[in-house]
Structure 1
Amino acid sequence: MTSTLKLALTGFFVFLLTLSAASTAHEIRPAIIDLTLEEDGAYRIDIQTSVETYLAGIGPEVTDTNDAPQADEYDRYRAMSAQELTPVFKEFVPELINGIRFQADGIDLNLPEPSLALTNEPDLELARDAVITFTGTLPVGSSSLAWQWDEQYGGSALRVTSASGEEIYTEYLQPGTAAGPFDITGAVKQSGFSIFANYIVIGFEHILPKGLDHILFVVGLFLLSSKLKPLLWQVSSFTLAHTVTLALGMLGIVTIPAAVVEPLIALSIVYVCVENLWSRNLSKWRPAVIFGFGLLHGLGFASVLTEIGLSPNHFITGLIGFNVGVELGQLTVIALCFLAVGVWFRNKDWYRSYITNPASIAIALVAGWWVFERTVYGV
């Protein structure tokens, strides 16, 4: 092989291993913001998030806290008990409030000092969720609201409901993006198209850049054969399966704990890559096996949507939008694989020896570690 080719292949494997390493540590998840409106004009804002990232000054450009320059500071906060962390959070509150714009009918509202509740005890191996809660009263006769917080706090899912649980508004927000103004009187309903487009973004982002285990699974499918027909058979089988369990999981018909699903998802990656080593062509049973693995991945997708919450009034719209986003993400991964190695080298005699086998071994080893990690330490 030429030096240029060796450099290209080295870059491809480094890319795979970088993706793999990034998914083994502390992933930063979007905040879940629940705004509940009472009949008497009172409101409650519950923000479920990882407050240590804010205290350490880790911004949305970082996807894993271990990669941040402030990683040591983040770990120091993570090691604190609730009693120790609360006064640190209180010192941070003015900065937090200064980064939030909450409006009623275009008028800025002054947020009160929030409370902080931590959901579990310190454990550096696991992410710790916190709930930041603001309570207050809207001006009499308020008909619309708007919400925005500083880009440094990252992406978020905003859910606005009445005290009875009736949905008023829902949107996934990119870092720094404003929501609204949106009507809270019921006179103007949120359009189905806006929800559809919003959930496409959520689905796509769950693959790229956040779904690193799903990315490596799709890469594993690509590695068996860079020819389009066998790849389409596998992807179609996978798509059909995860569509089924995504719907069943969201409807509550099938529920399996993440502690079971996530190690099995990692194990599915190991299987696909090991089979790549001893199978040169698409076997008769491989689409069926991929279908079974797709069922597992669908349950993983469902856990993401369950956490963010689907719009009850637009359940089907949101479900389809999320699934479309997932598919677009998977197709993008395949396209990138073709651009990286498939277009240039797929017809070479050495393609299997220098690309399929080494890449499959690397991914299988990393996924094997995930099986161990997710089984021993949990997810």
Structure 2
Amino acid sequence: MVARYLVMSIAALWHFAGVVSAHELNPTVANFEVAGQVLSLELRLNAEAILTEIDLDEVTDTDASAKAEEYDALLARPGPDIEALFATESDAFLNDISLFVGGAQIPLQFLSIETPSESVPGVGRQSIASFIAELPSRADSVSFAWGDGMGPLVIRQFGVDDPFTGFISGGDSTGPISLIGGMGMTPMEGFVSYIPVGFDHILPKGLDHILFVLGLFFLSLRWGSLLWQVTAFTAAHTVTLALGALGYVNLPGHIVEPIIAASIVYVGVENILSNGLSRWRPYVVFLFGLLHGLGFASVLGDFGLPTEQFIPALLGFNVGVELGQLTVIAIAYLVVGYNFGKKPWYRSYISNPASALIAFIGAYWVIERVFL
């Protein structure tokens, strides 16, 4: 029974880690501004996912898509190739985003797209596509509609006081957005609306962060040990999350992502070699937490924070991250800790094998993110 349970647990963890690979999909971000009668729209999007017609409402990681191979092939191509392909398909893409004034649809015109020349392994490449539209002379508000299967869309208004910031899903539309501003979030709206953004980055999207938290869990089921580690990790990533979001600290993804993977290797290996919480473990976890915070900050860079409610939204995001981490620990405890944590064979048959698998996955990600 123990052997069967262990095999099932390892298989579940392997699948949970995205079969060791991860190409996370971030939401599309729409920034718009009106000058005179011209509306300028800039979309930060995953052009490869759009070109392969992945259903972004159903898939949060490209490896889970039936079109994963086609997506990976595009991701391996240089940026200019993606720009050319997207420009060719731009008319089809414009069927998925619509601009309205009153009840009348206003045509959008594609201008250009910029795609990084190379992608970062494990991270979806973000392109910036630009569009314009000429508004009617008496337009005082606009609204946007977003196509089915296009995933979440973050909409941000610029160039006015108290600008609009909102989120819609594929198949949804915004209400009228005033062109003179005055539709910004209240502090409570900013706080509450960013809690699910932080939670979502842990569950289900934060595979590397999930494995790190599981690594903390599998060291010891003693609550004192777990509390020290989680406190150190939380304190650290809170600091760099805030500094990164404010723009004071910024490390490129090709540096941060491999080190985050290395932190997963460390906690997995130390779990096996140690007999419990060492005196240096909380300090090492704190250092790795600083880097994980920069990873969280990059997510906020993708979403953006409402200018008028920056602090409430930042706090809401951090609360969401913490709720996600606590949920991971709670699930792990209910699945293995509650039933088997006091068994004499728990460490040999569950904790150590799970830690070894965590370290193996982390090592693969280090290699993938540095060399592949």
TM-score (norm 1): 0.88
Q: Structure 1 residues 197 and 237, CA, compared in 2 at 3 Å: closer, same or farther?
A: same
2:134 maps to 1:133: no
Q: Provide Cα deviations, 1:301-321, integer angstroms capped at 9, x if missing partner.
A: 112212322222111111101
User: 179-188 or 322-331, which moves further after superposition?
Assistant: 179-188
**Structure 1 residues 9 and 181: CA distance shift in structure 2, 3 A:** farther
Name the residue aligned to 1:343: 338
Structure 2 contact 196–320 (Cα < 8 Å) conserved: yes
Deviation at 1:326, TM superposition (A): 0.4
> For the residues of structure 2 that align with 1:181 and 1:193, how far apart are their CA atoms?
21
Q: Which residue of 1 aligns with 2:283?
A: 288
Q: Where do 1:176-255 residues align within 5 Å?
A: 176-255=171-250
The whole-number CA distance in structure 2 between the counterparts of 1:359 and 1:251 is 37
1:42 aligns with 2:42: no
1:270 corresponds to which of 256, 259, 265: 265
Would the aligned equivalents of 1:99 and 1:150 in 2 still touch at CA under 8 Å? yes
Query: What's the offset of the Cα at 1:87?
Result: 6.7
Amino acid at match of 2:223: L
Select 1:155's aligned residue among 142, 152, 155. Answer: 152
Unaligned runs of 5+ in 2: none
CA contact (8 A) 1:111 1:134 kept: no
| Deviation larger for 315-324 or 181-190 | 181-190
Task: Report SS of the residue matched to 1:180.
Answer: coil
CA distance in 1, matches of 2:78, 2:275: 54
Aligned to 2:142: 145
Rounded Cα–Cα distance in structure 1 between residues aligned with 2:216 and 2:73: 40
Which amino acid in structure 1 is aligned with residue 337 of structure 2? G
**Which deviations, in whole Å up to 9, do the C-alpha atoms of 1:258-284 show, x marking residues without a partner?**
222222111111111111112222223
Q: Where do 1:46-65 residues align within 5 Å?
A: 46-60=42-56, 61-65=58-62
Q: Is 1:118 aligned with 2:121? A: no
Residues 75 and 125 in structure 2, CA contact (< 8 A), matched pair in contact too: yes
1:96 corresponds to which residue?
A: 93
What residue is the counterpart of 2:355 in the other structure? 360
Measured on the aligned residues, the alpha-carbon RMSD in Å equals 2.5
Secondary structure at 2:106 match in 1: coil
> Are residues 1:168 and 2:163 paired?
yes
**Higher deviation after alignment, 363-372 or 95-104:** 95-104
Give yes or no for contact 2:27–2:302 (8 Å, CA) kept in 1: no
Report percent identity of matched pairs.
Answer: 42
**SS at 1:263 equivalent:** helix
Q: Which deviations, in whole Å up to 9, do the C-alpha atoms of 1:109-144 show, x marking residues without a partner?
A: 232331342323466957443332220122233333
State TM-score, norm by structure 2. 0.90
Contact 2:97/2:146 (CA < 8 Å) preserved in 1?
Answer: yes
